[in-house]
Structure 1
Amino acid sequence: MSRPTGTPPPGGPDASDPASSTSTTTPGPARDEVDSVPPFWRLALYGLQHVLAFYAGAVVMPLLVAEGIGMRGQDVALLVNASLLTCGLATLLQSVGLPGIGIRLPVVQGTSTTAVPSLVSVGLAAGGARAGLPTVFGAVIAAGLALFVVAPVFSRLVRFFPPLVTGTIVTIVGVTLLAVAARQVGGGDPGDASFGAPAHLGLAAVTLAVILLLTKVSRGFLSTVAVLAGLAVGTAVAALAGRTDFSAIGPAGWLGMEAPLHYGPPRFETVAVLSVVLVMVIIAVESIGQFFAVGEIVGREVGPRDVTRALRADGLATAAAGALNSFPTTVYSQNLGLIRLTGVTSRWVVAASGVIMMLFGLVPKVGAVVAAMPASVLGGATVVLFSTIAVVGVQILVQADLRDQRNTILVATSLGVGFLPTAFPQFAEKMPGRQLQALFDSGIILGTLAAVLLNLFFHHLRLPRRLRRGRARAPGEGVNSVDGPAHYMQHGVRK
C-alpha cells in the first residue's frame, strides 16, 4: 500500500521484528527518541518520576482487595510488595519486550482496580482471607494465559478503534481521573474530619506552583523533572509543617519478597476463572485505546501486530502476577500524561521505572519512604497529570470528523455516560450482582463500552437499503472517519 508524500518510511518498535513490519511512522518524535538510552542519572530520575506518578495506584489496588476479603497485618504488606514487584515486571515486558511479546513503547503497566470487585467476590466465595487466595490467584493465572492465547483475535479489533473512539476513551479517562485527583488534593479520605482543610489545599497548591513555575522558567532537564521537583518540595514543606508521618519507615524490613504461590497451589474453579476472564476482556478493550494513545504521543503508528504483542505481554504479566501473589495488570494512563507533559518519550526511561518499582517491591523500607508522601502533595501533581490526559484525548479527537453528527453524538453520549459514576457513585450500589456493580462503579468502563458500541452502531451496522435511502451525507463525512479511506490508510488496513 502506498503512503502519502512526506510521510516518514515505515517503522515500528523493532524494525528487525517481523511482528512490527505492518506499522508505519507518523510525524512526531523521531525513531531514535523512543529507542534512545539517556545517561544513567537521567534514566534514574526520569524513571523515578514515572514511579511517583503511578505508585499510589499500584498500592491502592492490593489494599482494596485485602480489605474486601478480610486480610490483616503482614498479609496486607505482602500483597502490596507483590503488587509493586509485578508492576515493574509488567512494565519491563511492555517497554523492553521479548520475541513476539511487548509493544516496545513507553507503556507503564500496573495492577488494575477494575478487577477489584470480581477478585473480592471470588475470594469471599472461596472462604475469605488466606483461604480464598489460592482460588483468586488460580483465576488470575488462568485469565492471564487466556488473554495471551487469544491476543491475535483482539488485534483484529484495530479497525474498530479509529481516532474517534480512542480520543473519546482517553478523554473519558482524563476527566474521570480528575475525581481521584480532587480526593488527593483534599487529603485522600473524604470521611476524615480534616478532609478539604486549608492545610491540605495549601500543600497541593505548593506542589502545583512549583511544577508550573519550573515549566515556565526552566529549560532542558530541569523542566522535564518539574513533577518530581514539585513532589519533593511539597513533601519537604509538609515535613516542616509536621504533616508527614515517617514512623513506618523504621520498622519496615530491607527485604520483603515472599516465595511464589506463598498461599499454596492455585485452585482453578470454573466460575472464578470465568469471572476474572470477563474482567480481562474489559481490561483488554480499555488497553487497546491506551496503546493507540501512547503511539499518538510518541509519534509511532500502532498496528494490529503491535496490539497483539502488547496484549500478549499483558496476559503474560497477569499470569506471572498470579504466581507471584498479585493481581491482573493494565496500562496506567496517568503516565501517558507525564510523557505528554515532559516530552521524554524514551521507552528505556519507562523500563527504568519498572526496575525501580521492582526494587521497591523487594525493599519495603524504600517503599515506606515514598508512601510517606502526603496525599495532598500527590494531588497537586495529579491535577496536572490527569488533566493532561484529557487534553491528549482532545488532540486525538481533532483527527476525527466531528462535522458528522453521528460522531458528535458518539462523543457526547460516551462522555455523559462515563461521567455518571463519577457524579453519583450510588448508582453502582443499586445494581443487582457484583458484575453489574463493577460496571456501574467505573466511569472509564461505562464510557469505553459506550464509545465502542456506538461506533459499531453508527459505522459498522449496515441498515436495510430502504432505510438508507434519502439519508444525506454531512459535509466531509467519510473523510478521516471510520468509513473514510484516510482512516484505513492511517492504520494500514484496507476496507
Structure 2
Amino acid sequence: MDQAPSATLAIGIEQRLSAPRTGLFGLQHLLALTGIWIFPVLIGQSLNLSQVQVSHIVQGCFLMTGIITVLQSSRLLKLPIVQGPTAGFFVALSAAGATFGLGTAFGSMMVAGLICMVLSIPIKHFGLFGHISKLSSSPIVFGTLFVIIGGQLASIGLSGWFGVPGTPGYGSPNFWVSIITVITVLGCLIFGGNSVVRRAAIIWGIAAGTLVAAVAGLWTPAGAGSVPLVHAPTWLPFGFGVEWSVVVVMLLAFFQAGAESAGMYSLVGSWGGQQVGLSRTNRGLFTEFFGTTVGSLFGGIGTTSYPENAGIIRVTGVGSRFVTATAGGAAIVLAFIPGVSLFIAGLPSPVLSAASTILFGIIAMSGVQLLATVDWDDLNLAVAAPAFIIALGLQFLPAEITAGISPSVAAIVGSPMMLGIIMLVVLHLIVNVGIRPILERGRPANAEPLAVGQSSSHV
C-alpha cells in the first residue's frame, strides 16, 4: 500500500512516480555524487597512477555506490538513501596507499568492513555499531572532525591550480582555467536557488572548466576507443594485502562514515513520518558495510550517506525510495561502461583541484555549522581544543621525528583525521559522558544544570 505524503514530503517514501519523472529525479541524485568525480583522480595524482588505474577506481566507486544505494532503497533499509565516496576514506586510502600501496589499503579496508559488518549484524539488539555511533555522534565530535578534515585537505587543492610542471598550460593559463571553475561553482551555489543547478554546483564547475581547457587547447579527452564499450570492473586492480595499522585506520573511517549515515537515516525517515529504530539503523549500517567490503575488491572508495542527496529530497519534496533506487541502478550500469570512467580519470587536474578546493572548504564549514550548535563551556573546550590543534599540528612534525616512526604507527599518527577522531571520541566519552554527570551531581540544587554540549558561559 502506498504511503501518504507527510507534511515535509510531497511524494512519500513508499510512493511511485512515472518513469520519466523517476529518471529525472534519479539523475539529480546521481549528479550530486561529487566524490566519484574528484576523489579517484586526486588519489591518482598523489600516488602517480596512470589514467587507466584511476579509471579502475572510478568504476569501483560507481559499482559500490550503486549496490549500496539500491539495497538501502529497496530491500533492507527501505529509505531514500544515496551513498557515495566520502572524504574520510579518501584521506585514509591516500595515506595508506602512499605508505603501503593501494593493494594493502583496499585489502585492509575490506578486513575492516568485515569487522564492522559483524558489529552491526541486524539481529534484535545484537548490532553493537548502532549503540556506539549514537553514543558518540555528538556535534562537538563530528563538527570538530570536519574542520580537521578540511584543514588536512587544504594542501591538496590550491597547489594544483597551476597544473603540473612540464604539462601544457602550466602556470598562468591553467590558473585562469581554475579561476573560471571556481567562479562557476560559486555562481551556481549563489544563484542556483533550490534547483539541481545548486545541488550539482561542483559538477557544473568541472564541466565549465573542462570546456574552457579544451577550447584553449590545454586538454584533450582520454580516448574511449582504447577500452571496450562494456566491461566489468577490475577485480583487485592493485593486488591484495593487509596491514594491521591500516585496518585500524579504516575502522576509524568506517566509524565516522557509519555515525554520519545513522544520523541521516533518522533525519530522512522523520521527513517521511517513519521512526528509524536501532534495529533498522543496524540494517542500514550492515548494508553500507557489506557494500563497501564488496566494493573494496574492485577499488571502490568507502561510502557514507550523502547530505547533498538528503538536501535534494528536502527541497524537492520527492522522498520516493524508488527514485533513489533508480539512481543506484544507473550507477551500476555506469560501472560497466569503462569509457565513462576513463573520461572522468582524464579530466584536467587544475579543474579538479579548483573544484576540490571549494568542496573541501564546504566540508570544513559544515563542521563550523555543527559547532555553532555547541555551547562552549570549559568541558567542551577540553574536548575540542586539544584534539583540533594536536591533529593539525601533526602536519608540521620535524622530519627527524617522523623518520624514526615505524610505518605501522605512522599510518595512524601521520593522519590528522585519524588521530583527531581518536582524540575526539575518547575525550568526549571521558569528559562529557563520564566526568560531566559527576560534576552535575556536585553542583548546588539551584544551579543551572550543564547538559552535554551546553553551558551558560561562552567564549
TM normalised by structure 2 equals 0.74
The whole-number CA distance in structure 2 between the counterparts of 1:33 and 1:46 is: 18
Q: Paired residue for 1:284?
A: 254
Question: Identity percentage over the alignment?
Answer: 20
| Structure 1 residues 425 and 448, CA gap change in structure 2 (3 angstroms) | farther
Match of 2:25?
43
Counterpart among 194, 203, 207 of residue 232 in structure 1: 207
Give the equivalent residue in structure 1 for 2:229: 254
1:88 aligned partner, one-letter code: T
**Alpha-carbon distance change, 107 to 261 in structure 1, aligned in 2, over 3 angstroms:** closer
Deviation of the 1:364 alpha carbon: 1.7
Q: How big is the shift at 1:93?
A: 5.3
The two structures, once aligned, show a CA RMSD in angstroms of 4.7
Structure 1 residues 387 and 259: alpha-carbon distance in aligned structure 2, compared to 1, 3 A threshold: closer
Query: Is residue 170–residue 393 contact of structure 1 (8 Å, CA) maintained in 2?
Result: yes
Structure 1 segment 145-294 matched on structure 2, within 5 A: 145-151=114-120, 152-157=127-132, 158-187=134-163, 197-221=171-195, 222-257=197-232, 272=242, 274=244, 277-291=247-261, 294=264
Q: 1:54 matched to which residue of 2? A: 36
Measure, in 1, the Cα distance between the counterparts of 2:342 and 2:152.
28
SS class of match (1:460): helix
Read off the aligned partner of 2:84 and give its amino acid letter. V
CA contact (8 A) 2:184 2:205 kept: yes
- Residues 417, 343 of structure 1: CA spacing in aligned structure 2 closer, same or farther, 3 A cutoff? farther
Distance 1:460 1:94, change over 3 A: farther
Read off the aligned partner of 1:409 and give its amino acid letter.
Answer: A
Q: Which amino acid aligns with 1:371?
A: A
- The 1:164/1:121 distance shift into structure 2, 3 A limit, reads closer
Q: Distance in 2 between matches of 1:232 and 1:78?
A: 18
Does the C-alpha gap of structure 1 residues 479 and 247 become closer, same or farther in structure 2, counting only changes over 3 Å?
closer
1:314 aligns with 2:288: yes
How far apart, in 2, do the equivalents of 1:422 and 1:186 lie? 23
Counterpart of 2:344?
Answer: 370
Deviation at 1:449?
A: 1.2
- What corresponds to 1:390 in structure 2? 364
What does residue range 49-198 of structure 1 map to in structure 2 within 5 Å?
Answer: 49-61=31-43, 76=53, 79-80=56-57, 83-92=60-69, 95-96=72-73, 98-99=75-76, 105-109=81-85, 112-115=90-93, 141-151=110-120, 152-157=127-132, 158-187=134-163, 197-198=171-172
Q: Which residue number in structure 1 is paired with residue 393 of structure 2? A: 420
Deviations 1:244-271 (A, max 9, x none): 132443323322326757999x8xx9xx
SS in structure 2 of the partner of residue 108 of structure 1: strand
Q: How many pairs align? A: 433
User: In 2, distance between residues paired with 1:213 and 1:291?
Assistant: 29
Tell me the amino acid that sits aligned with residue 49 of structure 1.
Answer: L
Write out per-residue CA displacement over residues 41-95 of structure 1, whole angstroms, 9 at most, x where no aligned residue. Answer: 533542442344432313555887896xxxx897x46843652344324542574
- Which residue identity is paired with 1:256? H
C-alpha separation in 1, matches of 2:44 and 2:154:
22
Rounded Cα–Cα distance in structure 2 between residues aligned with 1:263 and 1:232: 29
Q: What corresponds to 2:406 in structure 1?
A: 433
Distance 1:213 1:119, change over 3 A: closer
Instruction: Mark the runs of 5 or more structure 1 residues left unpaired by the alignment.
Output: 1-13, 16-26, 124-128, 484-495
**Aligned partners of 2:93 and 2:106 also within 8 Å:** no
Residue type of the alignment partner of 1:478: L
CA contact (8 A) 2:61 2:85 kept: no
- d(CA) in 1 for partners of 2:392 and 2:229? 43
- CA apart distance, 1:237: 0.6
Deviations 1:315-352 (A, max 9, x none): 31233235x443672438xx546866997586777655
Shift of 1:121: 7.2
Which amino acid in structure 2 is aligned with residue 156 of structure 1?
Answer: H
Task: Tell me which amino acid in the other structure corresponds to 1:207.
Answer: T
CA distance in 2, matches of 1:441, 1:185: 25
The CA deviation at 1:236 is 0.8
Whether the 8 Å CA contact 1:118–1:434 is kept in 2: the answer is: no
> Which residue of structure 1 aligns with residue 382 of structure 2?
409
Question: Could you tell me how far apart the structure 2 residues matched to 1:112 and 1:94 are?
Answer: 23
Question: Is the contact between residue 114 and residue 289 of structure 2 (CA under 8 Å) also seen in structure 1?
Answer: yes
TM-score using structure 1 length: 0.69
